[in-house]
Structure 1
Amino acid sequence: MTAVARPIGRPPAAAGPLHRRMRRFAVMSAVTLVAATIVSAFLMPLGYMVATAFKDPSQLTAIDAPLYPAAPEVFEYQGKELKVYDVPQPDGSIKAWALLQPHREDAIFIDPANPEAGEITWIGRPRTLTQHWGFSLKVDNFTTAWETIDFPRLFLNTFGIAGLSTLGAVLSGICVAYGFSRFRFPGRNGLFILMLATIILPFQVTLIPSYAVYLALGWVGTWWPLIIPHFFANAYNVFLLRQYFLTIPRELDEAAMIDGAGPFRILRSVIVPQAVPAIIAVTLFHFFWAWNEYFLPLVYLQGKPDLQPLAVGLARFNALYEQQPTLIQAAAIMAMALPVVLFFLAQRAFMRGVVFGGVEK
């Protein structure tokens, strides 16, 4: 009887888990790279704004100027201010020397780091050299912009309009959302859908009729058209708050009713404390929108510079000082400082309100 020899298969190598780990690492690296690219694309305008705000106006027109805020360095030698240049050395290095006497084919320099060494002769054409730039922040841009556009008045106007309109939007949104989420009445779903349909309605459609009404009421030229309408609820705010209110168990309402609480007491003592993240999200959404609103204040406050907000004031400042982008960017940074600070302070509650209110329900 002949025995047939069969090759003994080798046990599978550990390449399987290693291959999976490598593939997972490649996928994570690709996702991270794409995310970093997208984030960089969004942050580049902000970085340009910050860098420009701290630059000297002469740096924007200089050909050899760096991207970061800087100024041409000078060195005082024997009562004279000498310009500092980047001078190439025979070994390939670059040294920053102060130009004392330029000639056609050579130049005499002074080493700012060691002026006691005396004059240094460099062979080459000095006109081919580039100036040495040192990091320098032009903080005066912010002071000039602050004083030029009367920033305190614009800031107070913007804060007043945004704060009052946000108060009205949040209070009215809470009341309407509470009604849609907790009460049953004929046509509730139809009214809710009709209200949501107003989100896609362009505001230009109602601009002329609204302007005619406010003109008849004598509100044009005042803050009232920018504040009063927000006390009648906003469809987006109502939707976000209603979705969050629906996640709150009704058993809490029933327990409060057993204790003798009425609808308004339930709203104040049960619903609102449970919906703080959503309320913060709605507050920030509306406050940011009102802070950056430009068109409506321009329409209703035309010819009233003492009542106009920052957005209109910055546009007017931009038209007057369009040849000075450093001042424009400095003013824009000051205008966006408060919303950025508020967002980072309430970031966690803001994200919770958006996720629970708009996604999970």
Structure 2
Amino acid sequence: MSASTTPTRRRLREPSRPLRHTDAGTKKLLAGGLVTMVATGILVVYLAPLAYMGVTSLKSEDMIQDFRAPLLPAEPATIEVDGDALDIYAVPLEGPDGPLTDLALLQPGRQTSTFVDPADPAGPPVEWEGNWRQLQPAYEFAPQLDNYSAAWDEMDFLVLLRNTVAIAVLGMVGTLVASTLVAYGLSRFHMPFKRTIFVVLIATIILPKFVTLVPTYALFFRIGWVGTWLPLIVPHFFGNAYNVFLLRQYFLTLPKDLDEAAAIDGASPLRTLWSVILPQARPALVAVGIFHFFYAWNDFFEPLVYLSTRRDLQPIAVGLQIFNSLFDTSPHLIQAGALLALAIPLAIFFFAQRVFLKGIDLSGVNK
């Protein structure tokens, strides 16, 4: 009799799922981390000079020259005992490799010096054997805010600020008016050779300023404008190719149905521009205005050429350069003056950055 055999059931092994999704997620995470690291490194590189300016502007001249001074603004720590100022040093009481203790130098000596505890100057003195000149001084945080007031007074900053704001604001008004009118005509009206005119206008962007410097200076000298603000303001009332390009690109994004609806209501082209186009082009106008304001604020060459004999009319860029040449051995004052000149543009960009970036994005620069 044959033994009955029971069939065995084999449990099929489920095929492993591919790890494509996991690998893709890991790669995406690594790529994001790499981008973050690179962006952080670039940010540190760009902000390092600004941090150096801020730290240096708050230091005293002695601390800048002291190679043992800490990175942050500080002054040697001292205490007053019986009317005398005693310097505080970091003293290794338990040997060269031992912990450091802050003590005030009471009686210096060639081989043995006497110290007291700054927290208890009336307590028993501490004798220490060694050369006290090799000890590291103790420092305390002490920003020198007087550097800013000194730079403000020496630069006559209020006069420089008045001149710069006047030149920048008047030129900004001129470039906004002229560039808006030109961009409006190139974007909304049909005219012969319109494309050629636009191409020639854009081509002037690559024209070096030094090519036109001599004839322009000769013209302004003949009409008696040298030594005044007029050469720095009046040319902007004739438009700027870059600003015209920005505004034209923005105007092209606005539907022409708005113009037609305004014309049906009896609006003239200028009325349409004022009541229909400009209210919707506010971000682009803000971007153009800030661009020109920053350009005028940082412009150094043209004010130097036209206002070299008029110290009372010079803007901040020229005044700061003169200040640097006069105080070239005082880097703390130079950095304080530079930060004073940088404060207003940074504040303007900080408060208007949303509208400014929106205007650049919608002006078709990337198109």
Q: TM-score range by the shorter chain?
A: over 0.9
Distance 2:101 2:20 in 1: 55
Distance 1:89 1:190, change over 3 A: farther
Cα deviation, 1:179-220, whole Å, max 9, x if unaligned, reads 111011000000000000000000000000000110111101
Distance 2:231 2:45 in 1: 37
**Aligned with residue 97 of structure 1, among 96, 103, 109:** 103
Q: Which shows bigger deviation, 29-38 or 93-102?
A: 93-102
Query: Residues 246 and 365 of structure 2 are in contact (CA less than 8 Å); yes or no, is this contact kept in structure 1?
Result: no
Q: Report the identity percentage.
A: 48
| Partner of residue 4, structure 2 | none
**Aligned with residue 214 of structure 1, among 197, 200, 220:** 220
> What pairs with 1:185-196 in structure 2 (closer than 5 Å)?
185-196=191-202
Distance 1:10 1:130, change over 3 A: farther
Using structure 2 for the length normalisation, give the TM-score: 0.93
**Aligned with residue 138 of structure 2, among 129, 132, 141:** 132
Shift of 1:128: 1.8
Cα deviation, 1:86-130, whole Å, max 9, x if unaligned, reads 223538433322111223344322222333433122344322211
Shift of 1:21: 3.6
- SS of the residue corresponding to residue 311 of structure 2 reads coil
- SS of the residue corresponding to residue 313 of structure 2 reads coil
| Partner of residue 79, structure 1 | 83
| Partner of residue 88, structure 1 | 92
Shift of 1:79: 1.6
Distance 2:32 2:117 in 1: 50
What is the identity, as a one-letter code, of the residue corresponding to 1:65? A
- SS of the residue corresponding to residue 115 of structure 1 reads coil
**Aligned with residue 275 of structure 2, among 269, 278, 286:** 269
1:285 and 2:295 are equivalent in the alignment: no
Distance 2:248 2:101 in 1: 67
**Aligned with residue 197 of structure 1, among 199, 203, 224:** 203
1:343 and 2:349 are equivalent in the alignment: yes
| Partner of residue 27, structure 1 | 31
> What pairs with 1:145-294 in structure 2 (closer than 5 Å)?
145-294=151-300
Shift of 1:72: 1.1
Distance 1:14 1:108, change over 3 A: farther
| Partner of residue 59, structure 1 | 63
- Structure showing greater Rg: 2
Using structure 1 for the length normalisation, give the TM-score: 0.94
Distance 1:322 1:290 in 2: 25
Distance 1:360 1:293 in 2: 27
Shift of 1:313: 0.8
Q: Which runs of 5+ in 2 are unaligned?
A: 1-6
Distance 2:100 2:21 in 1: 51
What is the identity, as a one-letter code, of the residue corresponding to 2:278? V
RMSD: 2.1
Shift of 1:12: 2.6
Distance 1:17 1:58, change over 3 A: same
Q: Which runs of 5+ in 1 are unaligned?
A: none
- SS of the residue corresponding to residue 229 of structure 1 reads helix
What is the identity, as a one-letter code, of the residue corresponding to 1:281? A
| Partner of residue 108, structure 1 | 114
What is the identity, as a one-letter code, of the residue corresponding to 1:43? L
1:329 and 2:341 are equivalent in the alignment: no
Distance 1:10 1:99 in 2: 80
Distance 1:324 1:183, change over 3 A: same
Cα deviation, 1:219-278, whole Å, max 9, x if unaligned, reads 011110000000000000000011011111111111211211110111011111101111
Distance 1:206 1:57 in 2: 44
Cα deviation, 1:267-319, whole Å, max 9, x if unaligned, reads 01111110111100000000000011000000011111011111111111111
Distance 1:108 1:215 in 2: 74
Cα deviation, 1:147-200, whole Å, max 9, x if unaligned, reads 112111111011111111111011111111101110110000000000000000
1:301 and 2:304 are equivalent in the alignment: no
Distance 1:78 1:311 in 2: 50
Distance 1:17 1:43 in 2: 38
Distance 1:73 1:190 in 2: 71
Distance 2:14 2:363 in 1: 57
Distance 2:49 2:333 in 1: 16
1:141 and 2:147 are equivalent in the alignment: yes
Query: Residues 250 and 284 of structure 2 are in contact (CA less than 8 Å); yes or no, is this contact kept in structure 1?
Result: yes
